[in-house]
Amino acid sequence: MKKLLSLLLVITLLLSLAGCGKNSEGGQASSSTKKDQQEDITIRFALWDYENSGLQPLIERYEAENEGIKIDVLDISAKEYGDKLAIMLAGGETIDTFFCKTISDLGGYVTKEQIDPLDTYIEADKIDTVPYGATMDTVNIDDKIYGLPYRKDFWLLFYNKNMFDKHGIDYPTKDMTWDDYREVAKQLTSGEGPTKEYGTYIHTWASVYFLQGLQKNMGDLVSGDYVMLKDGLELLKGIQLEDKSAQDYATNKSMGSHYAGMMEKGNVGMLYMGTWQMSQFAKMKSQGISDEQYNWSVAPMPTWTKDEAEATIGGVSPMLLSTTSKHKEETWEFIKFVSGEEGAKHLADLLIMPAFINEAVMDRFVQNEYFPEDGKIALETEHIFMEWPSDKLSPLLSKMVDEEIQLVVTGNKSIDDAIADMESRRDEIIEQNK
Amino acid sequence: MTQNKTIIRRNRMKAYAFLAPNFVGFIVFTLIPVVYAFLLSFMEWDSARPAVFVGLSNYFKLFKDTGFRISLLNTLYYTAITVPLTIVFALAFALILNEGLKGIKLFRALHFFPHISSIVAVAVVWQFLYHPDFGPINMVLKQIGIANPPRWTSSVTWAMPAVIFMSVWKSFGYYMIMFIAGLKAIPIQLYEAAKIDGANGWKRFRYVTLPMISPTMFFVVIISIISSFKVFAQVFIMTEGGPGRATSVLVYKIYTDAFKNFKFGYASAEAVILFIFILIVTIIQYRGQEKWVNYMN
Amino acid sequence: MGKLHELRRKIILYTLLCISSISMVLPFLWMLSASLKSEKDVFSFPIQWITDAPVWRNYIVIWEKIDFATYYMNTIKLTVVITILQLITCSLAAYAFAKIDFPEQKVLFLGYLATMMVPFQVVMIPQFIIMKNLHLTDTHMALILLQAFSPFGVFLLRQYYLNIPNELLEAARIDGMGEFKIYSKIMVPLAKPALASLSIFTFVFVWNDFLGPLIYLNTDKNKTIQLGIRKFITEYTSEYSLIMAASVCALIPVLIIFLLAQKYFIEGVAMTGMKG
């Protein structure tokens, strides 16, 4: 018995140690063994949704071109990305570089001193920041630059030409107003039950419901007056619950509907969504989904008045350099490659909007075989509002706004009450987090 | 005298040798964290910058935090409905299964299985069962003539009952088994005697069964109240605290404050309040048990 | 008290039992039947409990779509290691509390009891910080260390040991048997039912644990089956039949253990419910 017990103890310890050894690969485990040979440097790179990001060939190319550098990709699911990454950074994980999913998280990384400013690197390498355009402002905190913008996404109106043709309705143009949008959605809706065709699909994210408010240019959601949200909420509620030309929020939420899937079925006329959707549609097309099934194109976002400049919302995903990185120079080289012209061209081939844009990159984008000919006007959108500013209160306020919007669109609260509650809850959050 | 001392010393050595493996782990991973949790509740800490001692400020903030008040009320609401329902179901079916019917093992197993099944898997299934338009539950309700059945998880009024109903379904079998064990221990003579005195079924239950299973009852009440206070996974998966904050419960709030907003000190203060609640429940129970618990020995 | 009355009573009781048992089983049956349907039939009404053409492919697809095998292996590893460690550490400690007289016994045991009242949610934050400082976040070791020294296990086994007569041990002590030998030769064989109950409880707890892995495990290669299902829900949101198939896979091991060792489950629950 005694022997058996000690044997068991040894086995369990071995088992758990073996598990641990496996987990810390790349870090310390491999570094002490081959001192005499030329060692590989491993750069740990965290991102979301690796499979759909299309980055794999780019990374393989980088490894091939740079002898002795290995890129260790840390793939985190999109929905949990912000939370998980924060926990890993707090837990002292070795991460050399990572994408910042929403600019509102950036301030947090800076105050917690988890990322390094890049000014010295940018000056040393004489990086030309002109192609990054206005996206450089979003990574600028207290006159220091934190991160190189990698992707730039803004929202557009996707539409299925087949449904418009079927009903003999003109395609959306840049003059479309929100009232037109509602009207067109009504006209495109037909049928009942499982075969019903919907004029539009309205996704469950809060940003889908507050972007009309931001278009009014009355300030951002941290400091602006929440009255700006009223018209947009009324419009979307009307489309879902009165006109029934879109599946309602509650159904989408409890079914966990996916916007791309809804569009792909071919029974939805319009969908407003970020530019990332283009690469998804391109991918489906390349997998052989026929034009008969659905035939997409893009137009600029609808606006409140005809003569308003095109305005939409958007976001920037920069690539950041972790404070704890042990190979900062090598990591910087990698960041430069992914977020620079080479990475941008690669993204353009995938129909993903890069932050780095010059003539060459743009040409590659619109000449892509899957890019719809008449979609060019959509890319000329000038005025892009940030969903959330880089503010330490953004994450807290965003959850609050999301909760209140949820109550409105599930019919549990009137719009005016919700707006009043948002105001008082914002005051409380500011008060509580002084 | 000296001999006694050597014996004591020898026993001590032995005892500590046996305790050591567990005790070291217990100290590091249970005892220190418990003390630490209380200390943290007086700090402000975001996991990156150094912690700052802020005295009672976290607690003052808690009292002004409507989100905390809402989740506290939600937790109490959940507990107030879940506990009695669970106990009534558990006791009723324990009594039925104690009648000596055939197939008792099978019935018992069927009622117990939900308790040990994965909460994640079960919560997902219920999420679909509750679906407002296509879910089997509402389909059936529409069939039997209810035109507008509740929209369950997307209605402020019905989301919590939906969570409660699922929790009762999942856990009452566990308490039922405890009650069966308690019922088995009741000497048959007591019932015989009651019968001779002419006590009917209800009276026998009231004057024999209830007093005799009061120790079990006491235990079950405590355990079920404590576990209701700790409800988390159902809410996390089925409703994410929504719609709005209708199902945001204490542990869900603690979790989001700690691991989403990184307010570790503040979340610890919330956790301390949770602990105080559990402590109060236990003390009241122990005080009250002299009054209504009947220990045979 | 006629026969007829008795019969009527039985019919009522059986009816109640059957209704309740069906409601216990239906969600699981629905899970199973949905996991064998094609996507468009999942919500068809009236519910088809048995599909004409079961889609067995669903069960193949989930192993291809996400790294289900890894999740499975991780979960098995965690449950086995934690269960064994818990059995060893808890049964040793319980022996000291139940069968060895030493001055600090009462105080220490009270300490154990007191912490048993503190819910995991209260200590999860400090535990996380400790693990962070030990650089153990996102490792299995973190979960193993947290769960291998359960005060509950010590409490449960102590309860059982107390019922074992001291005379047995005293006799052996007089014969000059070493304490460890007494424990392993006399105590452990006698306490088998309690050890079995504890290991089953631990197994089920670790297998189904959600909050622990949610906090500690970040990378895919470390995730457990519960997180795997959740990942499925978030990534393949509208593929219900696949989500159901994944859920069935997560339930099967527990179901098998339950069918094999039902006796120990029931005894274990009854044991904790007895006078504390």
Tell which CATH classification among 1.20.210.10, 1.10.3720.10, 2.60.40.10, 1.10.150.170 matches the domain C56-272: 1.10.3720.10
Contacts of C139 in chain A (CB under 8 A): 19-20, 23-24
Contacts of A406 in chain B (CB under 8 A): 242-244
3-state SS class at A385: strand
Please, which residues have CB within 8 angstroms of residue C230's CB and are 6 or more apart in sequence? B120, B237, C210, C214
Q: What is the DSSP string of A127-175?
A: ---GGGTTHHHHTEETTEE-SEEEEEEEEEEEEEHHHHHHHT-PPP-TT
Better-scored residue on pLDDT, A200 or C264: A200
Phi-psi region of A160 (alpha: psi -120 to 50; beta: other; left: phi over 0): beta
Hey, are the CB atoms on B131 and A432 less than 8 Å from each other? no
What is the share, in percent, of chain A residues with pLDDT greater than 90? 49
- Cα–Cα nearest to A355, from A300, A387, A316: A316
Over residues A132-142, the pLDDT tens digits come to 988 888 898 88
Model pTM?
0.87
Hey, are the CB atoms on B242 and A406 less than 8 Å from each other? yes
Better-scored residue on pLDDT, B100 or B290: B100
pLDDT of residue C238: 65
Output the CA–CA distances (angstroms, integers) from residue C240 to A260, B238, C40, C69, in the order listed: 16, 15, 9, 20
The residue to which tokens 């079920």 are assigned = B224
Tokens of A257: 């509907």
In angstroms, the CA C220 to CA A166 distance is: 46
Q: What is the DSSP string of A329-362?
A: HHHHHHHHHHHSHHHHHHHHHTT--BS---HHHH
Q: Is C131 on the interface with A (CB under 8 A)?
A: yes
pLDDT category of residue C114 using cuts at 50, 70 and 90: confident
pLDDT category of residue A267 using cuts at 50, 70 and 90: confident
Q: What is the DSSP letter of A43?
A: E
Interface of A with C in 57-86 (CB under 8 A): 74-80, 84
What is the share, in percent, of chain B residues with pLDDT greater than 70? 96
- Cα–Cα nearest to A222, from A32, A105, A56, A389: A389
In angstroms, the CA C221 to CA A76 distance is: 11
In angstroms, the CA A121 to CA B136 distance is: 60
Output the CA–CA distances (angstroms, integers) from residue A329 to A106, A112, C20, in the order listed: 22, 22, 66
pLDDT category of residue A34 using cuts at 50, 70 and 90: very low
Helix (H) or strand (E) holding B189: helix B188-196
Q: Is A193 on the interface with C (CB under 8 A)?
A: no
Residue B150 pLDDT > 70? yes
Q: What is the DSSP letter of A2?
A: H
**Using CA atoms in the order A415, A420, A421, A425, what is the torsion angle rounded to 10 degrees?**
140
- Cα–Cα nearest to A421, from A233, A283, A171: A233
Hey, are the CB atoms on C210 and B112 less than 8 Å from each other? no
**Using CA atoms in the order C12, C13, C19, C24, what is the torsion angle rounded to 10 degrees?**
170
Please, which residues have CB within 8 angstroms of residue B12's CB and are 6 or more apart in sequence? C102, C103, C104
What is the share, in percent, of chain B residues with pLDDT greater than 90? 44
Better-scored residue on pLDDT, C234 or B194: B194
Tell me if C149 sits within 8 A of C127, measured CB to CB: no
Tell me if A83 sits within 8 A of C214, measured CB to CB: no
Interface of C with A in 4-33 (CB under 8 A): none
Hey, are the CB atoms on B243 and A113 less than 8 Å from each other? no
Of the candidates C125, C230, C255, the beta carbon closest to that of B264 is on C125
Q: Is A10 on the interface with C (CB under 8 A)?
A: no
Q: What is the DSSP string of C201-227?
A: HHHHHHHH--HHHHHH--SGGG--HHH
Hey, are the CB atoms on A88 and C80 less than 8 Å from each other? no
Region C242-247: what's the mean pLDDT? 89
Better-scored residue on pLDDT, A289 or B181: B181
Region A299-324: what's the mean pLDDT? 87
Q: Is A90 on the interface with C (CB under 8 A)?
A: yes
Neighbours of B57 (CB within 10 A): 16
The highest-confidence range among A70-79, B204-213, B271-280, by mean pLDDT, is B271-280
Under 8 Å CB pairs connecting chains A and B tally to: 71
Cβ-based burial of B180 (10 A; exposed 0-12, middle 13-18, buried ≥19): buried
Region C176-194: what's the mean pLDDT? 89
Contacts of C146 in chain A (CB under 8 A): none
Q: What is the DSSP letter of B204?
A: H
pLDDT of residue A260: 74
B175 CB-side CA count, 13 A:
30
Lowest mean pLDDT among A393-402, B247-256, C224-233: C224-233
Please give, rounded to a whole number of angstroms, the shortest distance from the CA of C274 to a CA of chain A. Answer: 30
Region B107-114: what's the mean pLDDT? 92
Hey, are the CB atoms on B21 and C88 less than 8 Å from each other? yes
Q: Is A420 on the interface with B (CB under 8 A)?
A: no
Q: What is the DSSP letter of A273?
A: E
pLDDT category of residue A15 using cuts at 50, 70 and 90: very low
The residue to which tokens 């308690």 are assigned = B182
Hey, are the CB atoms on C218 and A79 less than 8 Å from each other? no
Hey, are the CB atoms on B121 and C204 less than 8 Å from each other? no
Q: How many helices and strands, by DSSP H and E, does chain A display?
A: 20, 11
Over residues C41-76, the pLDDT tens digits come to 777 767 777 777 788 888 888 888 778 889 999 999
Over residues A334-362, the pLDDT tens digits come to 999 999 999 999 999 989 999 999 889 98
Q: Which chains have 3+ CB pairs within 8 A of C? A: A, B
In angstroms, the CA A182 to CA B50 distance is: 53
Output the CA–CA distances (angstroms, integers) from residue A79 to A83, B126, C234, in the order listed: 9, 22, 7
In angstroms, the CA B91 to CA A165 distance is: 65
pLDDT of residue A336: 94
Phi-psi region of C223 (alpha: psi -120 to 50; beta: other; left: phi over 0): beta
The residue to which tokens 């306020």 are assigned = A397
Over residues C119-152, the pLDDT tens digits come to 888 888 899 888 888 888 889 999 999 999 888 8
Q: Which chains have 3+ CB pairs within 8 A of B? A: A, C
R_g of chain C computed on alpha carbons: 24
- Cα–Cα nearest to B38, from C151, C126, C212, C107: C126
Hey, are the CB atoms on A253 and B156 less than 8 Å from each other? no
Q: Where are the domains of chain C?
A: 56-272
**Which amino acid is present at A93?**
E
3-state SS class at B205: helix
Please give, rounded to a whole number of angstroms, the shortest distance from the CA of C127 to a CA of chain B. Answer: 6
3-state SS class at A99: strand
Residue A14 pLDDT > 60? no
pLDDT of residue B110: 92
Q: What is the DSSP letter of A296?
A: E
- What residue spans of C120-221 are helical by DSSP H? 120-133, 140-147, 151-162, 166-174, 179-182, 188-190, 192-208, 211-216
Which residue(s) pair with A177 in the sheet? A303
Tokens of B172: 């009452």
Lowest mean pLDDT among B113-117, B293-297, C39-43: B293-297
